[in-house]
Amino acid sequence: MKFRRLILMRHAESPWEGVEAPDHERPLGATGREQGPRVGAALVQKGWLPQIVLSSDAQRTRETFDGLSEGFVTKVEVRFLSSFYQFGQSAAEEEMLILPETVSCALLLGHNPGWEHLVEKLTGKAVAMEPATAVVVAQQLGTWGDAASVEGWELEEVITARTLPAGDQI
């Protein structure tokens, strides 16, 4: 058995007003561009640096990752997956099963309502995931192949950009 940590994060704020682009191409707003770096800094401060990030390939999740990773102390592998945009929770569950066994901490970056449903499925707890919310769960697992089928992931923390201090104050 190995200790595994999973960080499920919803993309940062991306307004609908005044955006002419299709949903997949919708960018972050000014607030959203500030949220990612704050959440990334909070994860690093707590020692929860992911070894891999699996993300939706939507523009707003790409931009969220760019901000999030600003504070990472090492380069983190990222994979942008169209399946996370198209199929959400079911795609995330499939990808969890095939994470490399050397990975002890992974971050899945995507959209609601799928991420809220996945948190509830894994932990049995309903967590409201406003933009730029990261939910940290952990469990002892034999392999990542067991990740989606086991119950009882421990909810370690819910990090919301709204509650974090701005800028260098973290």
The answer, yes or no, to whether residue 85 has pLDDT greater than 80, is yes
pLDDT at site 52: 98
Given the structure tokens 């104050």, which residue do they identify?
169
pTM above 0.85, yes or no: yes
Q: Say how many C-beta atoms besides its own lie within 10 A of residue 124's C-beta.
A: 11
Pairwise CA distance, residues 108 & 59, whole Å: 15
What's the CATH number for 2-169? Answer: 3.40.50.1240
Name the pLDDT band for 170 (thresholds 50, 70, 90). very low
pLDDT tens string 15-25: 988 778 899 99
Q: Tens digits of per-residue pLDDT, 128-169?
A: 999 999 999 999 998 999 887 767 899 999 999 988 877 544
Question: What ranges do the domains of the chain cover?
Answer: 2-169
- Is residue 117 pLDDT above 70, yes or no? yes
Q: What is the mean pLDDT of residues 107-129?
A: 96
Average pLDDT taken over every residue of the chain: 93
Q: Which two tokens stand for residue 129?
A: 């995931």
- Position 152 scores a pLDDT of 82
Mark out the alpha helices in the chain (DSSP H runs): 30-45, 59-68, 82-87, 89-97, 114-123
What pLDDT score was predicted for residue 150? 66
